[in-house]
Structure 1
Amino acid sequence: MNSMKSITLYHLMINNQKMIGIKFSPDKLIQNLVKGLPNPKWSKRYNMAYIPNTKANLGVIFNTFKGVVWINYNRFLINKPVNRKNETVDVAWFRKRKPITDYRLCPEEYLLKLELKRYANSTIKTYVTFFEMFINFHKDKELNSIDEGDIRVFLQSLIQKNSSNSYVNQAINAIKFYYEVVLGMPNRFYEIERPRKESKLPKVISKEEVVDIIENTNNLKHRCIVQLLYGSGLRRSELLNLKIKDIDSKRMLVRVEGSKGNKDRLTLLSKTALKDLRKYYMKYGPTLFLFEGKKGMKYSAASVLKIVKAAAERARIRTQVTPHVLRHSFATHLLEAGTDLRQIQVLLGHGSSKTTEIYTHVAVNTFETINNPLD
């Protein structure tokens, strides 16, 4: 095989028909091999050759180029695993909605694929919301006839409304899910540009301010919630999913199951928090989830946010405090105390060390050794 020669396969939609795009640099050998494929044609728009997308034709391509040139399938085949998280997926309410005049609802095949892939319910809601926004922006067009230009016009409308980069990226994910996953054409819209990811420093409060917030909670339950958010560096969703069995008082650890990215991890359990948790357990008697609402159901995310904000206001903290600010503060205070960055990464459940490194930009000891030129 000549390692210098290669072709890349793409998914194309031409005249409402699925096609296999074959992109390559000018080369007589490859050109002659392409001519021998079943009914090859050339697209000026995509600047590549293409043939009908069938299993047989994919096999012909493999047999034609095997051992002669490198075949790059990265943009053609799907390698993403199905989410194996055991969360109950609920898309029934989307299906039961009453039709709205002059409004296109999300196609059934879109809902079905989200269901089969076992996407998180929050992700399903986001994807459906954005995809319906998109298909109603182009309500007079058949979905299969929509191209990169149409998507750009829609994204431009979001940008003109001063939508954030993350908002626009979520819209792109929802649109690409339909064409690439539902229709089985991965990387079809490979030319769609994404906004640059915003790089913002995490908001952090001092240890003294954290203590003030804890002291200004309304009751024992609220106190335990704030203590765990900060003392274990938990995300709000992780706190809500905690079960009684996840508190390991013998090893002084908290087990976090099915977190972001469907990962399990262990994190620290504060001795101070454990004392209050024991009192809380005796008083409230939760049965399954550590923090329960009415009828033993999982505590609500809105309630946790309200608890943190209200306690911070009573403590007269100027920074707008959320559960995630407490998580950021946990990581930053560990770093300032000399904890290794890799250990902090494990405690937070970050997949990449680059995500954890952001805390070096806000840790006080990063700046303590630098002499201010004014002084």
Structure 2
Amino acid sequence: MNWKAQLIKHRGESRIAIYFEKNQDWIDRIKQQEGSRWSQTLGIWHLPDTFENRMLFQIAEVPIQLPSAEGIAQIQKFKCWLLSRRYSDSTITTYTEALRYFLTFYNEKPVAEIDNNDVIRYNNEYILNNKLSGSFQNQMVSSIKLFFSTVRETKIELDKIHRPKREKVLPNVLSKEEVKLILNAHINLKHKTMLSLIYACGLRRSELLHLKPTDIDSKRGIVIIRQSKGKKDRIAPLSGKILLMLRDYYLAFKPTTWLFEGNTVGETYSEKSLQSVLKHALHKAGITKPVSLHWLRHSFATHLLENGTDLRYIQELLGHNSSKTTEIYTHVSTKNIQQIKSPFDDL
């Protein structure tokens, strides 16, 4: 697929224009980028001019730098260590990429000479100057702390490396009426079953796509989620309603290796296709909110809480390590808030 990215000025704002032949896969990819917009006047998709987007779309104005030879060797050594500890592929990629950016910044300094002041300077001159996100900074801190814990000779004091202050962002939650509209939007049984199972069991996207037919235990009324985030197994209850839907789906599609397979037998249904399934459901339901698949998981937890389910059980069902992660749903539950009478009503 041929494409070109170019810096432009649009309505007085610096943007990155993406030129490509009309292609739905690319349109979907651009739409997923934060701040993406379509210009009817220019006939192009364009994105915010950020350092991350410049790197992602290979804007020529960004100088390409590499770590030193020592840095490259250290990154490879770190990757081997992560592999030996059985970290997930996505975690290995995230940590090694974050370390690569950091060691590239100090490609003229021996790794053993890097100290805490260098970490602070990197935060200010690289992350903050390039307006990179707090989550990127947090990933960088995790990577650096883990990397330098494996290095014998270092001036880094790990306990003094600070993390960015966490943003308190509430999870996005749909009403039960909105969830019902989304789940009933599809006529296709496979699409309807996938979205319904995510909400019915509070699944992550990857958890749904890696379910096997044998993970559905109809006699015990549970679904077994194997080796999910943090390499943990857990179980979730299967309602009679979702079990009947799964039986109809199984008879119609007869999956083999995976519960939800793509066009090729034995291959998992793709994440991109699943996102498209949700997108079409939203369109049919007339919902214009920027709903993601994870909203269904958030809605599952919040609706359980509003129904009176103990927070400890919700923590188990979601597979959270800490109860603090689950407690965020108490801030979006409207059950008690709606019972509070506003003093405005007494005026």
Task: Give the CA deviation at 1:186.
Answer: 11
Q: Is contact 1:155–1:168 with CA below 8 Å preserved after alignment?
A: yes
- d(CA) in 2 for partners of 1:144 and 1:194? 22
Aligned to 2:46: none
Aligned to 1:153: 121
Aligned to 1:344: 314
Task: Give the CA deviation at 1:134.
Answer: 1.2
Aligned to 1:71: none
Aligned to 2:79: 111
Secondary structure in 2 aligned to 1:319? Answer: coil
Task: Give the CA deviation at 1:200.
Answer: 1.0
- d(CA) in 2 for partners of 1:184 and 1:304? 47
TM-score, scaled to structure 1: 0.69
Aligned to 2:97: 129
Q: 1:189 to 1:339 in 2, by over 3 A?
A: closer
What CA deviation, in whole Å up to 9, does each residue of 1:60-97 have, x standing for no partner? xxxxxxxxxxxxxxxxxxxxxxxxxxxxxxxxxxxxxx
Task: Give the CA deviation at 1:184.
Answer: 8.3
TM-score, scaled to structure 2: 0.74
Q: 1:133 to 1:295 in 2, by over 3 A?
A: farther
1:138 alignment partner, one of 84, 98, 106: 106
Task: Give the CA deviation at 1:257.
Answer: 1.5
2:131 alignment partner, one of 162, 167, 177: 162
Structure 1 residues not aligned, in runs of 5+:
1-100
Partner letter of residue 153 of structure 1? Answer: R
Task: Give the CA deviation at 1:127.
Answer: 1.0
1:249 alignment partner, one of 206, 218, 228: 218
1:303 alignment partner, one of 264, 273, 295: 273
1:191 alignment partner, one of 144, 160, 164: 160
Aligned to 2:188: 219
In the TM superposition, 1:188-337 aligns within 5 A as 188-217=157-186, 219-293=188-262, 294-337=264-307
Task: Give the CA deviation at 1:102.
Answer: 5.5
- Bigger radius of gyration, 1 or 2? 1
Task: Give the CA deviation at 1:270.
Answer: 2.9
In the TM superposition, 1:62-81 aligns within 5 A as none
Task: Give the CA deviation at 1:217.
Answer: 2.7
Task: Give the CA deviation at 1:210.
Answer: 0.9
Partner letter of residue 322 of structure 1? Answer: S
- d(CA) in 2 for partners of 1:227 and 1:118? 32
Secondary structure in 2 aligned to 1:288? Answer: coil
Q: Is contact 1:109–1:182 with CA below 8 Å preserved after alignment?
A: no
Secondary structure in 2 aligned to 1:346? Answer: helix
- d(CA) in 2 for partners of 1:182 and 1:288? 42
- d(CA) in 2 for partners of 1:200 and 1:102? 34
Task: Give the CA deviation at 1:188.
Answer: 3.2
Partner letter of residue 362 of structure 1? Answer: V
Secondary structure in 2 aligned to 1:374? Answer: helix
Q: 1:225 to 1:159 in 2, by over 3 A?
A: same
Partner letter of residue 349 of structure 1? Answer: G
Superposed CA RMSD: 2.1
Secondary structure in 2 aligned to 1:280? Answer: helix
Task: Give the CA deviation at 1:230.
Answer: 0.3
Aligned: 1:120 with 2:83: no
- d(CA) in 2 for partners of 1:122 and 1:343? 28
Structure 2 residues not aligned, in runs of 5+:
1-63
Q: Is contact 1:180–1:187 with CA below 8 Å preserved after alignment?
A: no
Secondary structure in 1 aligned to 2:309? Answer: coil
Aligned to 1:54: none
Task: Give the CA deviation at 1:326.
Answer: 0.3
Of 238-247 and 105-114, the range deviating more from structure 2? 105-114
Q: Is contact 1:113–1:182 with CA below 8 Å preserved after alignment?
A: no
Q: Percent identity?
A: 44
Secondary structure in 2 aligned to 1:365? Answer: coil
Secondary structure in 2 aligned to 1:190? Answer: helix
What CA deviation, in whole Å up to 9, does each residue of 1:334-373 have, x standing for no partner? 1111222222222112222222221111112121221011
2:324 alignment partner, one of 339, 346, 354: 354
Task: Give the CA deviation at 1:211.
Answer: 1.3
1:173 alignment partner, one of 142, 147, 157: 142
Q: Is contact 1:360–1:366 with CA below 8 Å preserved after alignment?
A: no
